[in-house]
């Protein structure tokens, strides 16, 4: 039985939850209540709101349409010499990079503080916000192309977008539509830095502490050493920013295939890094904030030049990913290690 005082407390909590739930991300208290999985329609509204609130500092364009006709959004902020590109949600069921990207655009683009003006004068940050909107709506990894028999992907669903960035594959011939859109945006922008945000299962380190995120640089043998070293510098900045937020970063045991964005954009000469956020249901808001912290730190250190001073050997010292936590890993437990 609920006594009157408890009932009032419950009512207030419900009212608060309703307020937070219905408020736009811009009005939510910092670090709380960000929608981890905004719908396609809500994402479009949030981006248009950012464009408007930033008085044009955030520039949003449709890069083209997904197979099912949903726009794939590109958002750009800043006008500096150093070009940085982030990609979120190539895999539809790996959502948390997307709300982090919205927060990044708001923090950098909305307002005219000295720090914001300085950062925008030093870097141009281009974000492909949710590369795979169809996969998001179907809540699966692949794009939507059920008739296809993909070399990488699943018949009945679609292509694995993160296997179709091969430098030799022309965007107009790319069978994975949305990967072609990312390729085109990359080619037009020519970023020095390219960071691709994904999600993984749940793992521990050698000491039994849970890993909150994993990072990796290009491992394809064709990537120049200087470009691998630059990617390692970016990976170290990502590790430090996430660990500084209470996270625990490991290396990611990824593959060498050239069609993986991490390898492909390294082959094309960018400092190219993969960030995998662990799927920790009870830590979702913190995971979004960690991704945001890495986006801000990479842009900041690219802007002030300190990124090039990081010791790349520190990346090799990032601990390896330990064993999976089977009881917590859920549906992902069956999947092998995949970028
Ligand atoms: Zn992924």
Quick: pLDDT tens for 8-25.
444 444 444 443 433 344
Half-sphere exposure of 202 (CA within 13 A, CB side): 17
> How far is 235 from 301, CA to CA, in rounded Å?
12
In a domain, 29, yes or no: no
Catalytic residue among 57, 103, 276, 284: 276
What DSSP designation does 324 have? B
What DSSP designation does 27 have? G
Which two structure tokens, joined as six digits, stand for 264?
A: 């492909």
In a domain, 9, yes or no: no
Half-sphere exposure of 252 (CA within 13 A, CB side): 34
Distance 202 CA to ligand 1 centre (A): 14
In a domain, 16, yes or no: no
Domain that holds residue 101: 42-331
Q: Select from 321, 213, 336, 205 the least CA-distant residue to 276.
A: 213
Residue whose pair of structure tokens reads 């008085």 in the numeric block: 55
| Count of structural domains within the chain | 1
Distance 7 CA to ligand 1 centre (A): 43
Identify the H or E element spanning 278.
strand 271-278
CATH code where residue 96 lies: 3.40.630.10
Q: Is 153 left (phi over 0), alpha (psi -120 to 50) or beta?
A: left
Distance 330 CA to ligand 1 centre (A): 16
Distance 123 CA to ligand 1 centre (A): 27
In a domain, 32, yes or no: no
User: Are the C-beta atoms of residues 38 and 101 closer than 8 Å to each other?
Assistant: no
Mean pLDDT to the nearest integer, 281-288? 96
In a domain, 317, yes or no: yes
In a domain, 19, yes or no: no
Residues 111-156 have pLDDT tens digits of 999 999 999 999 999 999 999 999 999 999 999 999 999 999 999 9
Catalytic residue at 276? yes
User: For ligand 1, a single-atom ion, which residues have Cβ within 5 Å?
Assistant: 91, 94, 198
Alpha helix (H) residue ranges in the chain: 4-22, 40-53, 97-109, 114-122, 133-138, 177-189, 225-243, 261-267, 284-303, 313-316, 326-329
Does residue 157 register a pLDDT over 50? yes
Does residue 27 register a pLDDT over 60? no
What is residue 326's predicted lDDT score, i.e. its pLDDT?
Answer: 78
In a domain, 6, yes or no: no
Distance 134 CA to ligand 1 centre (A): 15
> How far is 220 from 211, CA to CA, in rounded Å?
25
What is residue 228's predicted lDDT score, i.e. its pLDDT?
Answer: 98
In a domain, 88, yes or no: yes
């Amino acid at each position: 039985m609920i006594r009157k005082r408890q009932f009032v407390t419950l009512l207030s909590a419900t009212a608060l939850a309703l307020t937070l739930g219905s408020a736009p991300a811009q009005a939510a208290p910092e670090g709380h209540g960000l929608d981890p999985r905004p719908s396609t329609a809500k994402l479009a509204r949030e981006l248009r709101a950012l464009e408007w609130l930033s008085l044009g500092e955030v520039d949003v364009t449709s890069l083209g349409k997904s197979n099912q006709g949903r726009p794939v959004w590109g958002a750009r902020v800043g006008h500096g010499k150093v070009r940085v590109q982030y990609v979120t949600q190539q895999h539809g069921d790996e959502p948390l990079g997307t709300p982090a990207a919205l927060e990044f655009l708001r923090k950098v683009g909305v307002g005219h503080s000295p720090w914001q003006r300085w950062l925008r004068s030093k870097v141009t940050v281009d974000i492909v916000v949710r590369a795979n909107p169809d996969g998001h709506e179907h809540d699966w990894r692949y794009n939507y192309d059920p008739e296809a028999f993909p070399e990488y992907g699943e018949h009945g669903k679609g292509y694995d977008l993160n296997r179709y960035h091969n430098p030799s594959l022309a965007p107009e011939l790319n069978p994975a539509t949305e990967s072609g859109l990312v390729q085109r945006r990359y080619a037009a922008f020519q970023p020095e830095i390219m960071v691709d945000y994904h999600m993984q299962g749940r793992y521990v380190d050698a000491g039994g502490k849970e890993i909150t995120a994993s990072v990796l640089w290009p491992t394809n043998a064709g990537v120049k050493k200087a470009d691998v070293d630059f990617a390692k510098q970016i990976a170290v900045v990502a590790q430090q920013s996430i660990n500084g937020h209470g996270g625990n970063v490991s290396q990611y045991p990824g593959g060498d295939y050239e069609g993986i964005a991490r390898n492909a954009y390294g082959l094309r000469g960018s400092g190219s890094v993969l960030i995998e956020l662990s799927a920790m249901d009870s830590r979702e808001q913190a995971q979004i904030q960690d991704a945001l912290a890495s986006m801000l730190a990479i842009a900041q250190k690219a802007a002030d030049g300190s990124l090039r001073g990081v010791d790349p050997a520190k990346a090799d010292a990032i601990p390896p990913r330990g064993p999976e936590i089977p009881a917590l890993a859920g549906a992902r437990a069956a999947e092998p290690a995949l970028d």
